Structure 1
């Protein structure tokens, strides 16, 4: 519906209607053939590059002096709602292509058609009944062992603040009160230094189902390096290609990288697939730095090169911990 209204407004700019004929209003069915022809051209995209001057609503920017002010977006929306009731919104003329103008007008018309009160009511209702809250790094607020002093006191305080929300309470939001009784809460953590039992008993009881995930294996790392659309190896290839350098990873190099990632995760802190970032960065740091001088060349990364780049780091426990 908004699109249809936007098309009519664009046609008004391109082919203005004659308001009167012999002192009477023109009937809708008396629409000129030219307007009908322009409508067909508009739908076919033949007018997309044509420039028109339209009136658009002037919006207040949340950027002050080139800096985004946190929270200003909320104030902006509240002020916009307040002043919209006091009078017509300020508008300004802009020269745009038909394609751009159509999008802007369509968005403006869509906003007019949406009942925001109904949207907010529906959003709160869905959040209360279908909402899922994921709490990551929950192990960072666990008190280690029997210690209840120093930073562990504040960690326990955070847990006690989370407790009523997980149990079920009413949380005040700018869209109104939200009941958390039927919201699904999922918590996750690595628990390297702490254990799930280090959480306060009340909070443990609110997460009755416990699942332990297996550590990533060599085969998993190989898949992560090669299969995703934005896999790390593909990213490095694209990055080097911007400097005119062709980069190739052999199959044995990928296997070697995956093997090293698994070994380092077992010997030090297990940070999962993030280990691949540091390993590849170490392998590629010299090539990335010298990329402008390697234009037109082809670089082949094989298992031998991987061992040369990482050999000293892997054998030294301290270097492994702080570099990889």
Structure 2
């Protein structure tokens, strides 16, 4: 059972990267912790406890996607981010909604495979070491050697092993058999991607690969390069694939999280004709997956009843109530994210661990340049971002990227052939940005 962090700990971790949006952080923290709580419930009740799916509503650039990215790192569980606009109604060319479950399971299989391989890595290293030593110094045991000769050969082998461990054979060339990448023998599986055909195509392609591919090819490599291939090959031999697939399916079903971005783009606006009809078709296809259904994959059948769905959208042109009622009912928790203020922009520039200012300072430090932006300059940058967002499109914190790029354009171009100490104050910010920010047409295209 995956041991999730406590809700307060999750929020504390999210605070390191995301400014504000406390309501959204609390909602996802509770939802994530509930995954662990459900596993601790008795078997009879566990199946009845369904996840409370979440819709995050807020303008672009306020942190919806960033919350999803950071949550993926904290979850320790299968997690994928998909865009609702990528899906098409069954029967049309494009990806069907069930493909996101297959993507989730593929990610889960990769996770579990890595865990299982890590568990047997030492054994795989030992087996690879034996194979390399056999290639370097083959010793033929005929069975006719006397005990003294066998002991002498064993001592020689141990000396060679010690030399190998000290790295004295790293550059020696050996010949090893390496599996060639699977090919489909020139047979291309063509067809529409909708209606689950992509899964059928994958299955047919893999079948052809197994029939015609997977041949071994002899290659000459240094010991250093060969080791990587051999350890991986030995680790794969030691891992029971059936156990991996069973564990991956269980983990995807009970701990899987899907972040469904841009859900507002499939909400129908008033009128209900043309493109809106197609959008409603995607919603209808999405409904059984979110409600709970079974999806066939090449690894087995996946139940979607307990997968957590977190949806997000700006809802500029539509409202959550424009989604079909059944789909609205499957997202009981709605969280509104706040628009960013000037004070938020100042904090975004400096506070997070991956703050934009820290990124630019790190880039210039590679050139031996120390960049300092004064507090009054940070305030001026934040005010410019707020001003341009109000006058043109409000793109939230993403506006800071365009402004910082414009402000530091000369420094980034001239480095390293400039002075090693760069200090930017408010006056320089105004000098670089005032003319553009004041001109609505220019700011629309440049900032």
Task: Assess same fold via TM > 0.5.
Answer: yes
Separation in 1 of the partners of 2:244 and 2:209? 18
**Residue 94 of structure 1, CA deviation:** 1.4
**Residue 245 of structure 1, CA deviation:** 6.1
Preserved contact between residue 192 and residue 269 of structure 1 (Cα < 8 Å):
no
**TM-score w.r.t. length of structure 2:** 0.60
Separation in 2 of the partners of 1:28 and 1:210? 74
Residue 251 to residue 48, structure 1, CA distance change in 2 (3 Å): farther
Separation in 1 of the partners of 2:175 and 2:352? 44
- 1:39 and 2:39 correspond: no
Q: RMSD over aligned Cα, in angstroms? A: 3.4
Residue 319 to residue 36, structure 1, CA distance change in 2 (3 Å): same
In structure 1, list runs of 5 or more residues that go unmatched. Answer: 63-70
More RCO (CA 8 Å, sep 6+): 2
- 1:93 and 2:214 correspond: no
**Residue 129 of structure 1, CA deviation:** 1.8
- 1:311 and 2:434 correspond: yes
- 1:283 and 2:411 correspond: no
Secondary structure in structure 1 of the residue aligned to 2:335: coil
Q: Which residue pairs with 1:221 in the alignment?
A: 345
**Residue 27 of structure 1, CA deviation:** 10
**Residue 110 of structure 1, CA deviation:** 0.9
How many equivalent residue pairs? 308
Separation in 1 of the partners of 2:425 and 2:160? 61
Separation in 1 of the partners of 2:205 and 2:131? 27
In structure 2, list runs of 5 or more residues that go unmatched. Answer: 1-122, 184-197
- 1:113 and 2:238 correspond: yes
Q: 1:142 aligns with which of 246, 258, 267?
A: 267
Q: Which residue pairs with 1:68 in the alignment?
A: none
Q: Give the number of the structure whose alpha-carbon radius of gyration is greater.
A: 1
**TM-score w.r.t. length of structure 1:** 0.80
Secondary structure in structure 2 of the residue aligned to 1:91: strand
Separation in 2 of the partners of 1:308 and 1:48? 62
Separation in 2 of the partners of 1:305 and 1:30? 78
- 1:178 and 2:302 correspond: yes
Separation in 2 of the partners of 1:73 and 1:295? 53
Give per-residue Cα distances to partners, 1:76-126, cap 9 Å, x unaligned.
754453357xxx832313121x33222211101111122223212221222
